[in-house]
Structure 1
Amino acid sequence: MTAKRHYWIESGFLSVLQNFSGVFFGFASFFLLVRSLDNHSFGAWVLFMSTTTIVEAIRNGLIQSALIRYVSSGRKEEHPRIVAASLLLGGSVTLLTVGAAHLGAPYLSALWKTPELTNLFRVYTIGFSVSLFLSLFNCVEQANLRFRGVFVTGLIRQFLFFAFVAASFFLHHRIELSELAWVQVVSIVVSTVFAYLYTRDHFKLSFDNTGYWIRKLFGYGKYGFGTSVSSLLSGTIDQMMLGAMLSPAASGAFNIAVRITNLIDIPTNAMAAIVFPQSAKRMEEEGSSAVKYLYEKSVGTTLAILLPGVLFLYFFADWVIWAVAGQKYADSIPLLKITLLYCLLIPFGRQFGTILDSVGKTRITFLVVLFTATLNLGLNFILIRKMGVMGAAYATLCSNIVGFTVAQYILRREIGVELKNTIIYMYRFYPEFYNRHVLPAWSRKSNIDNQ
């Protein structure tokens, strides 16, 4: 087995496993929380999580892609300087963010009419400070084409939170939102310790000439930063605006539909994690034609895996919502059907950003995502006022369709991507999978039975 094939098999398996475990434990925690908290408290927790996710993306977007790109493609003797520069850059952002969180928490609490959020945000700044090192450790490991530690630390972080929620649920302990925030802090600290153990051989620091690398990382990462923030805003602005314009309960209802669609987004996230470092290498070694193939093949394969799940959830949406959240969230059923439609566009957008970032065109990615987020913001403001909760779903669907169209035009111009090829790869996936995996398995079983 060649080294390249071994990389794709091992990294693919671990990335899928990581995303599956993350979504599984996240969904399991949500499944119990939605039954443990009242509608207002659950909506408040959704708003808190949406905000902290964006805050983490602000920092990770600035350093993550740049660190992975330059370590994976740079000279080994430069790695300690790159990591040190990332630490200084990330530390500066962390200090600014922690200060802003302490000052801005009361204003967000007043906007969403949830005073308990003030304490939640201030508690989370502790975990946010520690997670800087967790992020750096994981990025260094991924840049060295290793994924085992990333998987283990992600699993630990998700499992500890789930374990607390599950124990509280079955022991009939009334969960306080502040307890959930403190459990998150503990899970981050434990995960960071394990991440260091996996990365300590590669995590070396040298503060010589860090000014050069800070400028270089910031020059590359500023667009990744903007892209991450704009992308997350595009994905969460609907929930935030529902919380501000309607109520936290409305935000919670919409989040249920989003949570369910996240279950079928596992292959998209896994493929993006695998493709990014490989794309950076292939661009250096083989040129844009190899990157074009990576995009078309990865999107086509992801769509083939997603399609059965999307169809099942669409036709059995009412049963799924009832089983997952209960009858008190029946208004999430039409929301789920709309979110499933734009779920099929996610692989195109995710790999668009992955490919362009890996070949150094982060500015283009940033501008497209910023445009999509701005459009989503405007459409949400208009349609929520006219249609209520359903307006948020239609606004996000429309903005995703426009963003998909723009991205395909740019990919065709930059690296020659053809949309029809992704459909061809999607169609070919099923017979290829059948011939390579199902038939040999049946043949082995028949041989064993005959013996």
Structure 2
Amino acid sequence: MKDTNQNNRYWLVSGFLTVLQNFSGVFFGFAGFFILVRSLDKVDYGVWVLFMSTITIFEAVRNGLIQTALIRYLAANDPEKHPSIITASLLLSGLVTVVCVALSLIFSPSLARLWDSPQLVNLFLVYNIGFVLSGLLNLFNWLEQATFRFKGIFITGLVRQIIFFLFVGVCFFLDYRIRLIELVWVQVISIAAAALLAYSYVRPHLNFTLANTRDWMGKLFGYGKYGFGTSVSSLLSGTLDQMMLGALLSPAASGAFNIAVRITNLIDIPTNAMAVIVFPQSARRMAEEGKGAIKYLYEKSVGTTLAILLPGVIFLYFFADWAIGLIAGERYADSIPLLKITLLYCLLIPYGRQFGTILDSIGKTKVTFYVVLFTTLTNLGLNFVMIKSMGVLGAAYATLISNIVGFIIAQVLLKKEVSVNVLNTFVYMYRFYPEFFQKYVRPFVSKAWARTGIS
């Protein structure tokens, strides 16, 4: 009974904090976007979108190589081995950071010419400082996640978001014209503040040793290289459309597409939260209970996520024009049909996200990498052809088709590896509503009614 209560408490507390973290991230990110889209002209906003897409890829290179490997090995090994694993992760993160900074310095002039945006060179130069700091911040957050704690991740993420939001908010109300270079400097400051705070949360667990460090670096890299490839390929699949729009059409076209993506992200909070919670649990359950537990985790988590997503998707689909007008203004009316298409593949995201989570936890990172790579290449080819023939709408349709292809491949592999039945996800989705009503809504209404004193 005690173990059951502890397990329930883990899911309740970690679920609440992770959803809250994702909600705050999307909320402040969306609020900042709401202001920026009105403060910047369409070209500057498009340049900002392209810059942030590129930065996100650099972050994914490092995160993909280290994050899943660190969490998996910490969760699966005894505490006396943790100092060696943490030291190896820090050294590996430092090496990757140096490589990424060098790549940024080398290729930023080429990207500036490709997108016809000379100011990008200075933006990348300044952000290299933030990239070094974010390496430490991410390492601290991963240590918390590996030990099944999420409080520090939530608070540090909130601090980082609030600092950036306050800057753009104050500039908007003071009618100050924001320069893109100023936005980058504010990001650097916010990352530094979050890293200092994150250190205070994980300091008791930051034990280092050089013993067996080389061996662990090899193990981390051996496991993480496919996670790295998966993360980068997955992220490229999600940003290629915007980048190719910037190259084949204009930065303004990329900005218009980003409006639809931003709105879709509002209803993607449960998907991100569920992936963060499920991974350390699935790694532990695989070691303790085998593949049967993994099958249940996948079907249950996807079904629950779909149940939460569906009302938002339906609402936004039928009120897309109202949502775009309210959020971005009339000058982005061309984003309305884009939003309707992105909402369709939004329903496939839980399947893909948990597919990667489950296969990584059972040691099949190589398979995940090849699937995501194939999907990314499909997306790349479709975007090139369809943007040229259909314009901005072509990017949305290309991404939808590539997501459908990835979904089919993932379900075939999950059926083979852990006997997943995709129909069960709909069963769990259907059950979610009455279960939620019985467990939470009905008791709440009963207590509220009892307080009135009416018999």
Partner in structure 2 of residue 105 of structure 1:
108
How far apart in 1 are the matches of 2:232 and 2:391?
25
- The answer as to 2:154 corresponding to 1:148 is no
How far apart in 1 are the matches of 2:318 and 2:420?
32
Partner in structure 1 of residue 222 of structure 2:
219
| More displaced 10-residue stretch of structure 1: 203-212 or 222-231 | 203-212
- Residue by residue over 1:340-379, the C-alpha shift from the partner in whole angstroms, topping out at 9 and shown as x without a partner, is 0000000000000011111111001100000000000000
2:292 aligned to which of 289, 301, 326 = 289
How far apart in 1 are the matches of 2:352 and 2:243?
22
Partner in structure 1 of residue 364 of structure 2:
361
- The answer as to 2:198 corresponding to 1:195 is yes
Q: 2:323 is aligned with what amino acid? A: V
How far apart in 2 are the matches of 1:100 and 1:275?
33
How far apart in 2 are the matches of 1:167 and 1:366?
43
2:268 aligned to which of 259, 265, 281 = 265
1:119-198 correspondence runs (5 A): 119-198=122-201
Deviation of 1:436 after TM superposition, in Å, equals 1.1
How far apart in 1 are the matches of 2:450 and 2:40?
54
- The unaligned stretches of length 5 or more in structure 1 are none
Partner in structure 2 of residue 59 of structure 1:
62
3-state DSSP class of the match of 2:139?
A: helix
2:429 aligned to which of 387, 409, 426 = 426
Deviation of 1:185 after TM superposition, in Å, equals 0.4
Root mean square deviation of aligned Cα: 0.7
Please report the TM-score for the alignment, with normalisation by the length of structure 2.
0.98
How far apart in 2 are the matches of 1:262 and 1:99?
31
1:5-154 correspondence runs (5 A): 5-154=8-157
Partner in structure 1 of residue 352 of structure 2:
349
3-state DSSP class of the match of 2:66?
A: helix
3-state DSSP class of the match of 2:118?
A: coil
Deviation of 1:287 after TM superposition, in Å, equals 0.5
Q: 2:48 is aligned with what amino acid? A: W
Please report the TM-score for the alignment, with normalisation by the length of structure 1.
0.99
Q: 2:343 is aligned with what amino acid? A: L
- The answer as to 2:412 corresponding to 1:409 is yes
Deviation of 1:306 after TM superposition, in Å, equals 0.1
Partner in structure 2 of residue 279 of structure 1:
282
- Residue by residue over 1:54-92, the C-alpha shift from the partner in whole angstroms, topping out at 9 and shown as x without a partner, is 000000100000000001111101101001101111111
Q: 1:66 is aligned with what amino acid? A: A
Deviation of 1:24 after TM superposition, in Å, equals 0.2
How far apart in 1 are the matches of 2:190 and 2:69?
26
Q: 2:433 is aligned with what amino acid? A: Y
- Residue by residue over 1:273-296, the C-alpha shift from the partner in whole angstroms, topping out at 9 and shown as x without a partner, is 000000000001110000000000
- Residue by residue over 1:27-58, the C-alpha shift from the partner in whole angstroms, topping out at 9 and shown as x without a partner, is 00000000000000000000000000000000
Partner in structure 2 of residue 300 of structure 1:
303
Q: 1:376 is aligned with what amino acid? A: N
Deviation of 1:412 after TM superposition, in Å, equals 0.3
What's the % identity of the aligned pairs?
A: 66
3-state DSSP class of the match of 1:201?
A: helix
3-state DSSP class of the match of 2:176?
A: coil
How far apart in 2 are the matches of 1:150 and 1:441?
30
Q: 1:185 is aligned with what amino acid? A: V
Deviation of 1:108 after TM superposition, in Å, equals 0.3
- Residue by residue over 1:387-429, the C-alpha shift from the partner in whole angstroms, topping out at 9 and shown as x without a partner, is 0000000000000000000000000000000011000000000
Partner in structure 2 of residue 206 of structure 1:
209
Deviation of 1:447 after TM superposition, in Å, equals 1.4
| More displaced 10-residue stretch of structure 1: 45-54 or 155-164 | 155-164
- The answer as to 2:317 corresponding to 1:314 is yes
How far apart in 1 are the matches of 2:170 and 2:89?
38
- The answer as to 2:343 corresponding to 1:340 is yes
3-state DSSP class of the match of 1:306?
A: helix
How far apart in 1 are the matches of 2:133 and 2:433?
44
Q: 1:84 is aligned with what amino acid? A: T
Partner in structure 1 of residue 231 of structure 2:
228
How far apart in 2 are the matches of 1:103 and 1:231?
24
Deviation of 1:103 after TM superposition, in Å, equals 1.4
How far apart in 2 are the matches of 1:153 and 1:285?
32
Deviation of 1:450 after TM superposition, in Å, equals 2.2
Q: 2:84 is aligned with what amino acid? A: R
